[in-house]
């Protein structure tokens, strides 16, 4: 069984997230999503609207997602690849090159981001509504 993993906050889930999850799953037979905890988001200078538990339950409802586990720090990726027996690591290409060090452990694939959608843009647009 070819296992794929991807990482992210996945806040205010949108079709850009769905696109990458769909494409990531298509690269194998099983997709693990490592979703950032609220504490780790602080390290990423991100404040998510939905809590970790809610973001996890939303991701678990997606047909392309087989397993959702916590991302608690920047250093866990190498051990995750062993722990979850991963064959393919996938990230959007805003991360192009950042995770090439993982190539000695598994395949590393960067996928094109979906244009014209982001959680930041959603928050900005919504803040304009009086
Ligand atoms: N994404 C995308 N298209 C968008 C928006 C996001 O393909 N329009 C992808 C990102 O490239 C990322 C994934 O969706 O691969 C999750 O996006 P975020 O939740 O913003 O993830 P990020 O904060 O970049 O966290 O250790 C890695 C980090 O946890 C990544």
The protein residue whose alpha carbon is closest to atom 9 in ligand 1 is 92
Tokens of 86: 């991963």
Which residue is listed with tokens 């979850």?
84
Active site residue 47: no
- Backbone angle region of 116, left / alpha / beta, with phi > 0 → left and psi within -120 to 50 → alpha: left
Q: How far is the CA of 92 from the centre of ligand 1 (A)?
A: 6
User: 6 pLDDT exceeds 80?
Assistant: yes
Predicted pLDDT at 73: 97
The protein residue whose alpha carbon is closest to atom 13 in ligand 1 is 8
Q: How far apart are CA 57 and CA 123, in angstroms?
A: 21
Q: How far is the CA of 17 from the centre of ligand 1 (A)?
A: 7
Summarised one tens digit per residue, pLDDT across range 17-26 is 999 999 999 9
Summarised one tens digit per residue, pLDDT across range 53-95 is 999 999 999 999 999 999 999 999 999 999 999 999 999 999 9
Q: How far apart are CA 130 and CA 109, in angstroms?
A: 41
Active site residue 130: no
Does ligand 1 come within 6 angstroms of the Cβ of 37?
A: no
Cβ-based neighbour number of residue 51 at 10 Å: 12
Q: How far is the CA of 2 from the centre of ligand 1 (A)?
A: 22
Does ligand 1 come within 6 angstroms of the Cβ of 94?
A: yes
């Amino acid at each position: 069984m070819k296992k794929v993993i991807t990482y992210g906050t996945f806040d205010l889930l949108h079709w850009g997230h769905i696109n990458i999850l769909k494409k990531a799953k298509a690269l194998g037979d099983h997709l693990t999503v490592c979703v950032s905890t609220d504490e780790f988001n602080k390290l990423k200078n991100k404040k998510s609207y939905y809590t970790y538990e809610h973001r996890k339950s939303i991701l678990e409802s997606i047909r392309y997602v087989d397993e959702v586990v916590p991302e608690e720090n920047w250093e866990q990726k190498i051990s995750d690849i062993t722990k979850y027996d991963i064959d393919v690591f996938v990230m959007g290409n805003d991360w192009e090159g950042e995770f090439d060090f993982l190539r000695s452990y598994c395949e590393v694939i960067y996928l094109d981001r979906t244009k014209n959608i982001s959680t930041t843009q959603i928050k900005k647009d919504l803040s304009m509504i009086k």
